[in-house]
Structure 1
């Protein structure tokens, strides 16, 4: 049995793990990273990147479909389009492969040793890795757990056959004629809307009174409108019960207590994700937990000295960019730098149509924290660039304290607003006030002008609405 020693061992090469390892390598730390699958983790391989590729393909297909017959307002006429999903998936896989190679190259450049296999803890400083060539023991002075998360499964709808998770949905060889989506959160709606654009008849079954429940009703209203335009059936207050005997329908208990069947070739279960805390010997190291998640402090330290945890395995928000920031911080702490987790805001994006962006506090949260607040709201219907992109449906909203105008939260819904997340996050991290945003010259014509105009509106003198 081979044995190697290192200063830092990172378990998991997802966004948090590989960033941690790269930064550690840059700082001259002898680092080993262990990964069972391909570098990049869920986000790169079966999550963020492939889903956005599929969403883009669906948007392009729908645009062309609307142009068929010259019915669109742009004066463009084309023949009715066809879609070969096999080619689409191959294109998506090509992007993923290039990024896999990129991550592997960056790890090598940082002089990080990569071990392919499944790691299991022996004790707090030692893991055993099952590789293709046999077992390998790795001893480390510090360990970072970055094992990530996996799709949550329903006991009455186990994955297999027609019941699929987001992973299988991103690898289908054909668009299903009928798709039932269990769960009206961001994953379910992102993929459900994409498949509807590609021609599937989609039904969404959500147990709560509304979809995208983590967002306020004003923010989600344009998305609900678009769901209707795409012909997506939304069943609220409805509970999935299982598959029909023939396996061709989803059994549902509706909001009024009646039983119903939703015809489906595929049933996509998107009821959230759970931390991957099983199968790698967690019981050998006895870490403190918070429910299913590993408990950490503001430096991502666990209850055991020398063991850190980052990313999805540590709880919400389960976002790749949070894991990346944590990974970078931990690498610097191991290198002896003074660091702490004091982020003011972590932007979150929902890639529905239209897109949603949130950073910081919602109006209700801000009111509960600060008392009197100011809200600036600017509609994209008054934004020239949004109009030229046929993206007038949506708005930018800024929430600030009433007394000193400190910005507490920023939200937006609209076509392409995901790209505004950087500006929103920066404003909050820098402690911007309404006057700072209003006084910054925003390029014209861009949707970013809506950010400035929302600040002006909160100050009482918007210029274009």
Structure 2
């Protein structure tokens, strides 16, 4: 039986990063993956959706260009070619991960890994094998959550795992769930000419995000012609003639039937616990319970990513994978979640970091908030992307930045600047005194900071 210092179960952004980091620590490492390297993020999530969102952005620009004096011929769309490009992007990145693992001398096993309490791992695949580990890092990710809606066993529907298999652009789609996944797909399908309806139980879209950002994105989606039904409960799904039907109850208790060609259920994800059933791990609700060092209730077995809940984000999984390795090789580093950037790649985008205004007040901070709108920014106006804002949430006495929210085109690329200020415990005054390049949309951070101090120039 082959033995390793560290065995990682799962080759997604938490797992493959952990494996490579462990190899760089000079350890013998194995990675077990049941499907494809890259996990959900690369194969069925972040990367394919952002590829299609880029296509949607180009379509939007082509349509807007007519108002700028740039006219083209008739716009035609090929979903087949779009999906082919998406597959090429995935393949290229997947090959990159494989190359990194090979360069790091990580042994990659294809198959399902089942972990025993003594850290023996049974690998079932083309060839059944057994390996031994000193430490194990569980990084098996998550799967789409499908709520107990009547009709889901009889009626065909899509989740975020299957929606990329579409071969034709649907005339209409009902998206159940107005969170990050749901509204990103709404932007994709609207750009393709699909009639889109979003059904959300909460009183607003992206309920975990800043209310000002949620309002801005809802207004933008409605301007595009997307129908949004909040405080609306899905009762059942069914078929009627050639269409599917989503039956919902409106806020006033009225029953409504929504006819559509396709249904996408996007209400969230749940941890993938396969391969660890016999461990008897302590749980935190549906998630694997871990301590501050990402160690489970069994010494030497760690868990990261969507398995442990919290922020179910690829970059958080990667950070957790790194911390788990540091601790598995003898370190003592707790996981720090104070500065977690969050991105929503809609049109316009939402980007946020740190505490929301409400969270900051609940924690007892005396908070002062400033919002600067892109309508006063030269680059945003020149780019015809002036719908958006930057919001700074800071502690009133010393001006320490507690959180920031951005809405606008490509604001996810600006977010790391705010994250860096927060990570280094920067203040609003320091941000206001920093020289930002002109003309850029990033100047809005400086303007918001100066306005917070009562010294804004372009406020």
TM range (shorter): over 0.9
Q: For residues 216 and 159 of structure 1, what CA distance do their matches in structure 2 show?
A: 36
Shift of 1:301: 0.7
Measure how far apart 1:225 and its partner are.
Answer: 1.5
| Aligned counterpart in structure 2 of residue 280 of structure 1, from 275, 280, 290 | 275
Shift of 1:123: 2.5
**Unmatched tracts of structure 2, length 5 or more:** none
Task: Return the TM-score normalized by structure 1.
Answer: 0.95
**More deviation in 204-213 or 82-91?**
204-213
Name 2:427's counterpart in structure 1.
433
Residue in 1 that maps onto 2:55? 57
Q: Deviations over 1:94-127 (max 9, x none)?
A: 0000000000110111111000001112334111
Question: Contact conserved, 1:153 with 1:159, CA < 8 A, in 2?
Answer: no
Note the residue ranges of structure 1 that are not aligned, 5 or more in a row: none
**Residue of structure 2 in register with 1:223 after alignment:** 217
Q: Which residue of 2 aligns with 1:142?
A: 135
2:266 corresponds in structure 1 to 270
Among 252, 261, 268, which residue is 2:257 paired with?
A: 261
Task: Specify which of 241, 244, 248 is matched with residue 252 of structure 1.
Answer: 248
Deviation of 1:224 (Å)? 1.4
Cα separation, 2, equivalents of 1:160 and 1:16: 35
Q: Displacement, 1:335?
A: 2.5
Question: By how many angstroms is 1:414 displaced?
Answer: 0.8
Segment of structure 1 superposing worse, 121-130 or 441-450: 121-130
The 1-side partners of 2:36 and 2:99 are apart by 13
* Cα distance, 1:197 vs structure 2: 1.2
Q: Which shifted more, 249-258 or 411-420?
A: 249-258
Q: Is the Cα contact below 8 Å between 2:5 and 2:29 reproduced in 1?
A: yes
1:151 aligns with 2:139: no
How many Å separate the matches in 2 of 1:281 and 1:417? 39
- For each residue in 1:278-300, what CA deviation from the matched residue of structure 2 results, as whole angstroms up to 9, or x when unmatched? x3132x21111100001111111
SS at match of 2:32: strand
The alignment of Structure 1 onto Structure 2 pairs a total of residues equal to: 456
Distance 2:361 2:171 in 1: 46
Q: Report if the CA contact (8 A) 1:343-1:429 is conserved.
A: no
In the other structure, the counterpart of 1:175 is 169
Q: Give the aligned partner of residue 8 of structure 1.
A: 6
Map 1:211-360; keep pairs closer than 5 Å.
211-246=205-240, 248-277=244-273, 279-282=274-277, 284-360=278-354
Task: Mark the CA change 1:351 to 1:441 in structure 2 (over 3 Å): closer, same or farther.
Answer: same
Give 3-state SS (helix, strand or coil) of 2:414's partner.
helix
- Residues 160/417 of structure 1: CA separation in 2 closer, same or farther (3 Å cut): farther
Check the 8 A contact 1:376/1:456 in 2, yes or no.
Answer: no
Corresponding residue number in structure 1 for 2:41: 43
Deviations 1:6-60 (A, max 9, x none): 1101000100100000011111110000001111100011000000001111121
The reply to whether residue 31 of structure 1 matches residue 20 of structure 2 is: no
SS at match of 1:234: strand
Please give the secondary structure, in 1, of the residue aligned with 2:169. Answer: coil
CA contact (8 A) 1:62 1:198 kept: no
| Distance (Å, rounded) in 1 between the aligned partners of 2:85 and 2:296 | 40
Kindly state the Cα deviation for residue 80 of structure 1 after the two structures are TM-superposed: 2.1
Runs of 4+ aligned residues of structure 1 deviating over 4 Å after TM superposition are none
- Equivalent-residue separation in structure 2 for 1:370 and 1:208 (angstroms): 26
Shift of 1:311: 0.5
Q: How does 1:188-227 map to 2 (within 5 A)?
A: 188-227=182-221
Is the 2:293–2:332 Cα contact (8 Å) retained in structure 1? no
Do 2:155 and 2:238's aligned partners in 1 also have CA atoms closer than 8 Å?
no
Q: CA deviation at 1:160?
A: 7.9
CA distance in 2, matches of 1:181, 1:420: 29
Distance, in Å, in 1 between the alignment partners of 2:102 and 2:91 is: 17
How far is 1:310 from its partner? 0.5
Q: Aligned to 2:346, what secondary structure does the other structure show?
A: coil
Distance 2:255 2:395 in 1: 48
Q: Does 1:99 align with 2:97?
A: no
Correspondence 1:443-462 to 2 at 5 A: 443-462=437-456
8 Å Cα contact 2:158-2:263 kept in structure 1: yes
Asked if the contact 1:124–1:304 (Cα under 8 Å) also holds between the matched residues in 2, the reply is no
Query: What's 2:358 paired with?
Result: 364
Structure 2 CA distance for aligned equivalents of residues 426 and 316 of structure 1: 21
TM-score, structure 2 normalization: 0.96
Q: Distance in 2 between matches of 1:160 and 1:26?
A: 50
1:119-130 to structure 2, matched below 5 A, reads 119-130=113-124
Aligned partners of 1:160, 1:268: CA distance in 2, in Å? 15
Q: Secondary structure at the match of 2:339?
A: coil
